[in-house]
Chains A and B, each alone.
Chain A
Amino acid sequence: MGATGMSGAANAGDKQSYVLLQVGNSRFALRSDLVEELAPPVKLHRFPNTTALVAGVIVRRGKIIPVYDVSRVLCGRELSVHRFYLVARRKFEKETEASAIPVNGECELATSGLVPGRDGDPAYFAGTLHVGEEEIKVLNLETLVSEARA
Chain B
Amino acid sequence: MKIAGAEATKARRARSSEAVILFSIANQTFAIAADAVQEIRSTDSLGGAAIEIEQADVPKVRHLVERAKRTYYVVSGCAHFGLKVTRPTLVLILRQIRAAVLVDAIERMADITKLHALPRGFEGDERKWYRGLAYLEDRVIPVIHPAGFLTAEEFARLDQAAAESGAAAQLEGAAR
Which residues of chain B from 106 to 126 have a CB within 8 Å of any chain A CB? 116, 119-126
A124 to chain B minimum Cβ distance, whole angstroms, is 16
Which residues of chain B from 128 to 161 have a CB within 8 Å of any chain A CB? 129, 133, 135, 138-142
- When chains A and B are docked, how far (Å) is the Cα of A90 from the Cα of B121? 8
The answer to whether the Cβ of B17 comes within 8 Å of any Cβ in the partner chain is: no
Please count how many residues in chain B sit with their CB below 8 Å of the partner chain's CB atoms. 22
Chain A residues with Cβ under 8 A from B120's Cβ?
A: 90, 92, 95, 97
Contact across chains for A47 and B82 when beta carbons are under 8 A apart? no
The answer to whether the Cβ of B28 comes within 8 Å of any Cβ in the partner chain is: yes
Chain B residues with Cβ under 8 A from A45's Cβ?
A: 139-140
Task: Count A-B contacts at CB 8 Å.
Answer: 57
Which residues of chain B from 76 to 134 have a CB within 8 Å of any chain A CB? 81-83, 116, 119-126, 129, 133
B168 to chain A minimum Cβ distance, whole angstroms, is 35
Chain A residues with Cβ under 8 A from B122's Cβ?
A: 49, 51, 54, 66
Further pairs besides A50-B125, A51-B122: 16, Cβ < 8 Å: A47-B28, A48-B142, A49-B122, A49-B126, A54-B121, A57-B119, A57-B140, A64-B133, A64-B135, A66-B119, A66-B122, A68-B121, A90-B121, A99-B121, A145-B121, A149-B123
Q: Which B residues lie at the A interface, using CB under 8 A?
A: 28, 30, 81-83, 116, 119-126, 129, 133, 135, 138-142
